[in-house]
Amino acid sequence: MEQEHPNRRAWLRSAGAVALAGLAGTAARADTYPQRTVRFVIPFTPGQGSDVIGRVMSERIAPVWRQSVLVDNRPGANGALAVSEVTRSAPDGHTVLVTSNSPIVINPNLYKKLAYNPAADLKAVTLAGMVELAIVVHPQVPARTLPELVALLKANPNKYSFGSPGVGSTSHMTMELLMRLTGAQLTHVPYKGSGPAMTDLMGGQIQLMADALPSAMANIQAGRIRAVATTGVRSSSVLPDIPTAISQGVNGLPVGGWYGFFVPVATPAAVVDKLDADLRQVIYAPEFQARMRALGIAAVPPGTPAEFAEFVRQDTAFWERTTRQLNLYQTEG
């Protein structure tokens, strides 16, 4: 029997547990939304998964809104700079955060001092999809399977370096857990996004990383990097020949991440509901889903903003346990 993505199960649990949110606020404001250009703020560099979703969404939702949509990449501090900017923006639905999970559920558990509190400063709108990661290496690394890679790393402590989109990213945490689970020792090199890290991986400045499928896929398929494992509970539908970490004897890695849309917390409920409905109209269109599947992004069942907020709460609790387990709680943010 096919196993189900654990994060997907959490989403289904939260969807069943939370009552449907009723319309509230000023309907007139929602009826006229949006009134001008909408800005999608992306916490990472171009090419990362949230950037891909933001750009595909911007192309398809602009005709729905009859307004232009600006994609604004604001990388830095594992997404903290972009999130902080959105929390300070006008709460009218015209500034929307399009992000992966790490700035929302990992950062608050990683930094003692953070310029924002997702639970208090942001309102969840729509869960867009879920994604697995691939553990990838430079082609000259003499390992073609995960056990071969682990053996190589353990035989050469701290000789090899791994990159990540930033401290606290799901990519970073995946590699930290790999070291904890296997006893391997690596040097971490953080970047301002997976794009720069991938460039250095292909150039040989770093030797491996864990990267989300949307940003790693093309380079894997072109042979510029080599995937030794994926992190899902079953083989990826887009990379079926790459065995999972679980099937290779490494159990306990995060199965992946997710992408979603958020707005400032004071945004009227009626505007949030209108934004959610418009986004879901695009997300569940067949052509959008086909594009996401090709990138390795899995669809999730439709849900309300309240259900998405509950899912975020549960995932935040998971990462609280994980960061404590790794003893990675930092002092600054």
Q: Looking at residues 106-113, what average pLDDT do you find? A: 88
Does position 21 have pLDDT exceeding 90, yes or no?
no
Q: If pLDDT is split at 50, 70 and 90, which confidence band does 43 have? A: very high
Does position 61 have pLDDT exceeding 70, yes or no?
yes
Q: If pLDDT is split at 50, 70 and 90, which confidence band does 25 have? A: very low
Q: If pLDDT is split at 50, 70 and 90, which confidence band does 56 have? A: very high
β-bridge mates for residue 208, sequence order:
137, 162
The residues, any chain, with a CB within 8 Å of residue 292's CB and separated by 6 or more, are: 53, 56, 129, 298, 299
The pLDDT assigned to 329 comes to 63
141-185, pLDDT tens digit by residue?
999 999 999 999 999 999 999 999 888 899 999 999 999 999 999
Query: pTM value?
Result: 0.83
Burial of 318 (C-beta count, 10 Å sphere; 0-12/13-18/19+)? middle
Please give, one letter per residue, the 3-state secondary structure of the chain.
Answer: CCCCCHHHHHHHHHHHHCCCCCCCCCHHHHHCCCCCCEEEEECCCCCCHHHHHHHHHHHHHHHHHCCCEEEEECCCHHHHHHHHHHHCCCCCCCEEEEEECHHHHHHHHHECCCCCCHHHHEEEEEEEEEECEEEEECCCCCCCCHHHHHHHHHHCCCCCEEEECCCCCHHHHHHHHHHHHHCCCCEEEECCCHHHHHHHHHHCCCCEEEEEHHHHHHHHHCCCCEEEEECCCCCCCCCCCCCECHHHCCCCCCCCEEEEEEEECCCCHHHHHHHHHHHHHHHCCHHHHHHHHHCCEECCCCCCHHHHHHHHHHHHHHHHHHHHHHCCCECCC
Handedness of CA 47, 52, 58, 60 (dihedral sign): positive
Choose between 298 and 140: higher pLDDT.
140
25-39, 55-69, 71-85, 281-295: segment of lowest average pLDDT: 25-39
Q: In percent, how much of the chain has pLDDT > 70?
A: 90
Sorted by where each starts, the structural domains of the chain and their CATH numbers stand as 6-131+257-326 (3.40.190.150), 133-248 (3.40.190.10)
207-249, pLDDT tens digit by residue?
999 999 988 999 999 999 999 999 998 888 889 999 999 999 9
The pLDDT assigned to 29 comes to 60
The pLDDT assigned to 2 comes to 37
Q: If pLDDT is split at 50, 70 and 90, which confidence band does 95 have? A: very high
The pLDDT assigned to 13 comes to 53
Does position 331 have pLDDT exceeding 90, yes or no?
no
What's the whole-number average pLDDT of the chain?
A: 89
The pLDDT assigned to 171 comes to 94
Does position 19 have pLDDT exceeding 90, yes or no?
no
